[in-house]
Amino acid sequence: MKIILKNVNILSPGSKHHMKVKDVFINNGMVEKIAEANTISDKDAEVIEGKENYISAGWFDLHVNFRDPGHEYKEGLVNGCKAASNGGFTGVLLMPSTEPAIASKAAIEYVIQRTKNEIVDVIPAGALSVNRDGKDMSEMYDMSLAGTKVFTDDKRPVSDSGLLIRALQYSHNFKGKIFSYAEDKHISGKGQMNEGVVSTQLGLKGSPALAEEVNINRDLFIAEYCNCPIHFSTISSAGSVALIRAAKAKGIKVTCDVAVINLYFNETALMGFDTNYKVKPPIRTEYDRLALIDGLVDGTIDCLTSDHCPDDVENKLKEFELANYGISSIDTAFATARTATKDKLNIAELISKFTNHPRCCAGQKTILIEEGNQANITVFDPNKKWIVSAGDIRSASKNSPFIGQELIGKPVCVINKGQIVKI
């Protein structure tokens, strides 16, 4: 396979070609040559051209659910990879929220073997606790030998402080990483959305930002005590940003990410009781939304994630209180983030939140666009305007609040493992 990326803008911090317009020649899955624009030609090569196109290291999504094993009808591994590549991603960190949970060496190996021929690199995260029940620590070391460095109970918070201490200290011995979802269930209770004026108007039970912030504060104290790194998944409030900003200034080893939906909408989106806006953590106030964007700008928030949680119609088309949490969002994640941050975050800074920053958080090797390196590349147009339709969603589930939204920025194609997928 020969491909010429002609006249493209390269975004690859650390590469000598960063922020330059070049031609890139890819042969048999490797970057064979990078030269001045419009100077490379090969009659046997497929040419992808356009001055509006940018290229970067392939995007990596730090928080996805593909529902296999257990609920493949919502999203199987193979179709999940198709949705990921359609969204511009060449790598994903798969959450262990399956049935049974990904909590053993065999489960890790199953996911890796099942997806090894897909264009998307699927890195399964292992469950932190047995069955994700928050009681006993899982076989983390065995799972690390099978190919993962991340351990999490996904959207189930670790309520047992002693368990969190043991998990941090134990995983640190083999360079594992604990991902924490911050929520004090005794505070959030059965909250359906953000607690505030809008939840009162709608008559829905609210989950206050306090539930997240109390848990983050506790986990930061524990991480500092253990002198171990910790990562917070999908933070959602201004208070959380402030706590993590202060912790970083203090020298605590902490990273975090935010889901793109929390950058785009505020709680007023729920005024119509549309269950496609029912997510965990909840969409919060406009003040929180803007604080999250500020956290991206100043580097407090390290990564962006789709928080892809596909679900079937039967579990979403219900009364609001009975509907499942989550949205199908990997197909539109980049465009959502680009649209929400275009006036605050330049394209190079935005792309860093989708590429090597999440790879570092997941314990994966970073990628540079240099001659002699493997071609793991996303080609995209950061300024293309488009209206999302159901046909644009390759996920098996269509529970997306972005259908009908006009977004900015779209992937053109992805290249990885000697394969190419055009979008």
Count of alpha carbons within 13 Å of 419, Cβ hemisphere only?
Answer: 12
d(CA 245, CA 268): 27
**Does 44 qualify as catalytic in the annotation?**
no
- Neighbouring C-alpha atoms within 13 Å toward the C-beta of 173: 8
Cα separation, 247 vs 177, whole angstroms: 18
Decide: residue 200, CB within 10 A, 0-12 exposed, 13-18 middle, 19+ buried. exposed
Q: Give the position of tokens 């209206």.
A: 387
The order of strands in the sheet holding 254-259 is: 150-151, 177-180, 230-232, 254-259, 303-305
Secondary element (H or E) of residue 297: helix 286-297
Which pairing describes strands 46-49 and 30-36: parallel, antiparallel, or unpaired? unpaired
In the chain, the largest separation of any two C-alpha atoms, in whole Å, equals: 65
DSSP lists the bridge partners of residue 266 as none
Residue with tokens 């493949």: 72
**Active-site hit among 184, 257, 307, 331:** 307
Pairwise CA distance, residues 415 & 351, whole Å: 16
CA torsion through residues 316, 330, 284, 222, sign: positive
List phi, psi (to 5°) of 137.
-70, 140
Annotated active-site positions, please?
307
